[in-house]
Each structure stands twice: as structure tokens, then as C-alpha cells.
Amino acid sequence: MTTPTPDAGPASDGTAPDGIDEVVRDRSIIVCCGSGGVGKTTTSAAIALQAARLGRTACVVTIDPARRLANSLGVDELSNSPTRIEGDWPGELHALMLDPKGTFDDLITRYSDSEAQAEDIRVNRIYRNLTGTLSGTQEYMAMEKLHELVEEGGFDVIVVDTPPSRNALDFLDAPRRLTHFLENRVFQALMAPTRVGLRFMGVAAQALLRTISKVAGADIVHDAVAFFQAFEGMEEGFRLRAARVRELLVQPTTAFVLVASPRPDSVDEAIHFAAKLAESDMSATALIVNRVQPRFATDDQLATLTSTLGPGRVGDGPPAALADLVDNLAGYTLASDREEAAFAAAVAEVAPAPVYRIPLLNTDVHDLGSLADVADLLFTPAPR
Amino acid sequence: MDIRSFCSQSRVVIVAGKGGVGKTTMVAALAHLAAGAGMSVLVIELEGRSGVSHAFGGSGDLGYAGAVLHAAGATEVGDDTGDLGAPIPAGVVHARTITPDDALLEYLDDHGMRRFSKRLLSSGIIDIVAGAIPGIRDILVLGKVKQIEQQGIADLVLVDAPATGHTMTFLSSASGLLDAARGGPIRAQAADVVALLSDPKRCQVALVTLPEEMPVNEVVEAAYQLEDSVGIALGPVIVNACYPAVDSLTTPAGDTVAAAGVDLDPALVDSLEQARRFRQRRHELQEGQVGRLASELPLAQLRVPYLFTDAIGPAELDTLSQALAAGIEALHETDPVAR
């Protein structure tokens, strides 16, 4: 199998990021972003494992509901608080699986004025459904968990495996989206109809609420109002928290690692995400392309084969068995060419950030041994 | 089983699977297959992606108005479908995108609330409403699917579902809403959607997976969840990207080259051998996973071959739908369809 080589190795001129080795050695927050099905969870776990192998105390946070992380770490279940994974490395490796609902409950408890208020919120039907229904809530809770882990201290580095958002913005916008939701003027107007300056708003709000009632039933509106009433006064806490999360994300010790597969849709999302990061004054620190098809021959070699053997499967061509062999080799070469072409644009978009290719592996990653193999492919070997 | 009876088991087929397993490509292949069997097909895209259109050689954007992707005997595909409610002719594939916003506008229009619709959208209030009313977006979209099903404008309605994680939320939204809403037309809509999803004669889910460990784990889990929490019937599992067995590739490249009596540079023989071994190893792993899938999930399997390209065009589509056809023809009428 081919050995993956980064396009740009660690740069020393100070103009380019130092690459994934520097990230895992020095950064304190590593956010892995990418679409679903690209091996993001495995990559996150491999990064955390490498940090532990370098002697750091690392924690990987995943939101992956399919227990893939638990699978690859060789444990059955992970919980909403860090579980230490035992292994033969100088540092520490911890892992947690985000429970968005549980994290939200904790947040409610923290920011409510009283246990009564917290309870009002917890029993509200709309709140109970919120983590599953308000787009961005999972992302928000991932950020919240990150914040909590940073506050509590104890980890040198936290690796966050982000939810596979269809919209890359969800992740960066998540905290703002929730506060926006809670501050919604229609419902605020309804709760405080006499507040100065909101009189007109109140009229408009009433009309809209009537429409909503008509479509969805009065109960829903009643529940919604109760929901917003229960949350009243908590917005400020959420807003402060959201601002603090953003500070965490823009600090220079935070790295964003884009993870992609060579599929066109995944590459498009990686490009989109790199652009969004740039808009928010952040930048991709590295791009990791997973599951790259190995290449077994150069174009010249293939041309030699064809000219030596003649056209396959017709007349004087090679026997079928040999033609099968050649087709197979040519197929992998073609697949490899197409992949390179597909992610060329992503490579350009993240420049000068380095790009790493991890070949399609012969075995699925489902234990610490194979996870270590991935880390070996990605990183310069750690001193043992 | 013949193609037509297979594709007529339920009018709506929701094609679901985790991201990257080739769901959209399978939607296109099924559409191609059914149209080839003389059925009228409507493909519904939910995420505004253009994969289905590309597979048929179209330009990409579908939009709410949709596009004709494939018409038996016709040489061109067009963008204008004319009247959306008009029946689709036999052998023709239409495709359209349905987003929650589109569905809401139409819903409000249909319910005599047109004057509110613009304001709901322009003020951004729809986002708040959608947040406050769990699952309303999904209900609006599924409600639209139900409406299309009942209009009977196509023999087969193929829905390209969101990736698995979200598919669960998407498909369980209706029962969730039934729990949350005690009245109003949205509740009625949710009840209609639940009725559609739980009737195997009207709607089934076709799960798509890859012959690899994690995708197999996920599809097994998804299948049980769909049955248990949504009560939806499952059709055969489509296993995409399977390496077909090629007998000659079990022989080492050196032997094959020697037997053919050709003189090749040893480096070339080595390349042939490496590529051969890689493929054989992938094939072995695949067989293990497909076997495990069969033992953990008692559903029929349809295998679709691995293609050395990601760019699916009309030629690839043809190959894929032929493979599906071969699989379907090998199915017995009595093969289990989960209830």
C-alpha cells in the first residue's frame, strides 16, 4: 500500500501552518469539521490518541449517536462525562459521547433562578422536544460541552468531533441561534404587551399567533408561550455563554481540522466550510482526506501495458484472465485520477494549510490497534 | 419477482441510508428501472441536491417546479414539467425538490391563509414557528409527499431521504407531533402522515448501505429503529458498491502473465499483483460484512456493483439499474418484507 505523504510538510518559514504534528502537540482545542460519512469520528479519535501518545492529557468529544467512537476505542458505551481509555501511552486519553438533552438540562439548572423555574422548563413539551427539533441545538450543546470541559480544566487538549451538519454554518451559529430563538420578539411581545415601544409589535404578534393557532392548534401556542415565560430572564446567561464560546473558537490555540472524503459532495462541503471559517475570521489549520484510493501504477506503466498487450478482449488481445488483471489495475488508476481532480479545488481553498491523504484501509477501524494505525499514517511517529 | 410488481408494492418508497452510501444514486437507478418497466416515476429531493439530475445527464437544479429527467423514447430531457398536478406519462421520470418553505407556502395557500404566507417567510418567523412546533418542517414536507401520493400522478414516488441520523427525526416527526399537538389542521396533517408511513401498501423504506463494517452496523440499527419507533415497512436492503467476484483474479498475476505467454516488465507484474491483492482483500472483507448483514437483518438484499468512478452519468446509471433488476428478478414473491 502506498504511504500517504502530506503535500506540504511542516513549514519552517512561518508563513504556513505547521501542520498536523504541531496541532496535536501544541493546540488546546481541536475542532474536526466535515460532512457525514467521511471518517470524522475516527479521525478525531486518532488525533486524541496521538496527543496521548505525546504525553498530553486529551479528551475527545463526539456527538456520534451510532457509537462509532465507542466501537473504535474498544468500549461498549460512552457517557456524557469523560471516560478514561486505558492503554499503553505516556499521556491520558479520555472520551465522551455528547448527550445533547442531558447537557441542555445541566445548562437549564445552571442558569435558572430557582429549582421551580428549572422544573417548569424541564416539563415543558416544547423544551422536551427542543434538542431534537431546533436545528443547531446539537451543535450548540457540543460547544457548551466544550466550554464546560475548558472551564473545569484538567485537559491539555480537547478534540471535538462536530455533528455532521448539512449546513456548515450551524456549527458556528449554534449559540447565537438559540439566543435568537429565546429572544424572539413575537413571543416577547406577547409576554410583555405593555412594555414601552412594543405596542405595534404586540398587534402584529397577535395576528401571527392567531395564524399559528389556526394552523397548529391553540395548545401549541399556549405551550410556546409557557416555554418562553419559563425561559424569561435566562437569555442574558445564554448570551454571555455564547460569547465566551466564540472567544474559545477564535483563540490562536484553537485549530480547525477539515475532514473530507474524495467524493465530490464531501469536497464541496469542505470548500464551503473553509470559506465560512474565513468569513468568521478563523481558518482551516489542516485538511485531511480520508479513504483515498491507493494507486498501483503510473500512467506510463498503464500505457506500456496497453501497448504491449493490445486492446483487451478483442481479436488478438490478451486472454480474458490477463485482461481482467489489467482492467482492475486501470480501474484503480482511473479512480485515483478522478479523486485527485475532485479534491484539487479543496486543496487550493485551504492553502496554505497542509493536506493529508489517508488511504482506504484494508480493515475497518474498530479497535485501538487499528486506530493507532490511522494515527501512524497521519502523524510523524511519536517517540516511544 | 418481476420489476413492475416489485416497484408496485407501495406507491411511495423512501430511500434512506447514512451519508456517503450512494443513496441519491440508488434513487436514480430505481427511477430508471421503474421507468424502463413502463411506470411513471416522480423523484422527490429533500435537500436541494442535484445528484439525481446529474445521473440522468441533466443540468442540475431541480427546484420546486421540477424537471423531466428521463422519458422513454425521447431524446431530450426538459426543464419544464408544466402542471405539477398533472399525471406523469408512463416511462417518464420527473424530479422535483420540496423544501419546508415551499411546502408551507403551498399549505397556507391551500388553507386560505395566503395573506400570511409572505409575511411568515419574510419576517423569518417561520424559523421561530418551526422551532416552537416540533417537527413542523418535516410534517409539511411529508404532508406534501402524502398529497402527491393521493393525487396518484405517478405510479412510483421515490423520496431521497436525508442522511440516516436525520432520517429518524424526519420519519418520527409525525408521531412526535401527534403527541405534542392536540388539535388544529397540523395535527390532522400529522395523523395523515402517520397513516401513510405505517401502511406497507402505501409506503416503504429502502435502506441503502455499503458492504463495510460501520455502514452495516448502522443500517441494522436504523432498520430496527424504523420498525419499532416509526412502524414503517422495510423493503430489501440495497448493498451498494459490491465488488463482483471475478474468478480469474484469484490467480496470482505472475501465473496469469506466464500462462498468457507474454513478456512483461517485473515492475508491471508487481503493479498488477498489488492491485489484484488489494481488490481480493476488499472482496473478502465485503463478503464477511454482507454475510453478517444477512444474519443480523432478515431482509432480502439487492447488490449493486462497485464502479471505479464517482461521477454517475447515464452509462453508469444503466449498469446500476441492470444490477438492481437482476437482483429483483432473483427475489421470490415470498421474500420477507418486514411488517
pLDDT for res A13? 40
> Is the minimum CB–CB distance between A145 and chain B shorter than 8 Å?
no
Among candidates A129, A261, A331 on the partner chain, residue whose Cβ is nearest the Cβ of B180: A129
Most confident listed range (A57-61, A114-118, B167-171): A57-61
What gap in Å lies between CA A270 and CA A263, rounded to an integer?
11
Residues B162, A334: C-beta atoms closer than 8 Å: no
Which residues touch A287 (CB under 8 Å, ≥6 apart)? Answer: A257, A258, A259, A260, A270, A274, A346, A347, A350, A353, A354, A355, A356
Mean pLDDT value across residues A239-244:
82
CB A18 within 8 A of CB A11: yes
Cβ separation A133–B113 shorter than 8 A: no
Q: Can you give the pLDDT at residue A360? A: 84
**A347 to chain B, closest Cα gap in Å:** 19
Residues 148-167 of B with CB under 8 A from A: 162-163, 165-166
Closest listed residue to residue A258, CA positions, set A39, A95, A71, A65: A39
Dihedral angle sign, alpha carbons of residues A101, A102, A105, A106: negative
**Using only C-alpha atoms, what is the Rg of chain B?**
22
Window from A11-25, A286-300, B217-231, B243-257 with minimum mean pLDDT: A11-25
CB atoms under 10 Å from CB of A289, counted, come to 28
Residues A148 and A155: their CA atoms lie apart, in Å, by: 11
For A326, the grid coordinates are 489489467
Question: B262, A219: Cβ pair inside 8 Å?
Answer: no
Amino acid A11: pLDDT: 37
Query: In sequence order, what are the residues at sequence separation of 6 or more whose Cβ sits closer than 8 angstroms to the Cβ of residue A69?
Result: A41, A44, A45, A60, A62, A78, A95, A97, A161
Taking residues A186-194, report their average pLDDT. 54
For cell 414557528, what's the residue? B129
Q: Is A363 at the interface with chain B, CB within 8 A?
A: yes
How near does any CA of chain A get to the CA of B207, in Å? 16
For cell 465560512, the residue is: A276
Cβ contact (<8 Å) for A186 and B128? yes
Interval B225-264: pLDDT, tens? 888 888 899 999 999 999 999 999 999 999 999 998 888 9
Residues in chain B with CB shorter than 8 Å from the CB of A364 are 212-214, 285
Residue B28 pLDDT > 90: yes
Contact B20 A266 (CB under 8 A): yes
Nearest to A54 by CA among A82, A26, A74, A83: A26
> Residue A267 pLDDT more than 70?
yes
Is some CB atom of chain A closer than 8 A to the CB atom of B19? yes
pLDDT in tens, B264-318: 999 999 999 999 999 999 999 999 999 999 999 999 999 999 988 767 888 999 9
If you write DSSP's letter for every residue of A148-175 in order, what string do you get? HHHHH---SEEEEE----SSTHHHHHHH
pLDDT tens string B70-125? 765 444 445 455 567 788 999 999 998 888 878 888 887 887 777 767 666 665 55
> Which of B120, B128, B181 faces A181 most closely, judged by CB atoms?
B128
pLDDT for the residue numbered B106: 84
pLDDT of residue B75: 41
User: Quick one: cell of A256?
Assistant: 480547525
Alpha-carbon dihedral angle through residues A351, A356, A360, A361, given to the nearest 10 degrees:
-160
Strands A157-161 and A254-260, bridge-based pairing: unpaired
Alpha carbon separation from B44 to A228, B145, B235, B321 (Å, rounded): 36, 8, 18, 18
Chain A from 228 to 247: CB within 8 A of any B CB: none
Which of B183, B276, B309 lies closest to A338 in CB terms?
B309
Predicted confidence (pLDDT) at residue B137 exceeds the cutoff of 60: yes
User: What are the residue ranges of helices labelled H in chain A?
Assistant: 20-26, 40-53, 68-73, 100-111, 115-123, 125-133, 137-152, 169-182, 185-191, 199-216, 218-231, 235-250, 264-279, 299-309, 320-350, 368-378
| B313: contact with A, CB 8 A cutoff | no
- Give the residue among A204, A200, A222 at the shortest CA–CA distance from A213: A222
Cell of A56: 498530553
State which residue of chain A sits closest to B114, comparing Cα positions: A211
A123 in reach of chain B (CB within 8 A): no
Put simply, the answer to whether B133 touches A216 (Cβ < 8 Å) is: yes
Which amino acid is present at B253? A
Q: Which of A6-15, A67-76, B94-103, B273-282 has the lowest mean pLDDT?
A: A6-15
What percent of chain B stands above pLDDT 70? 83
Say if B288 is an interface residue toward chain A (CB within 8 Å): no
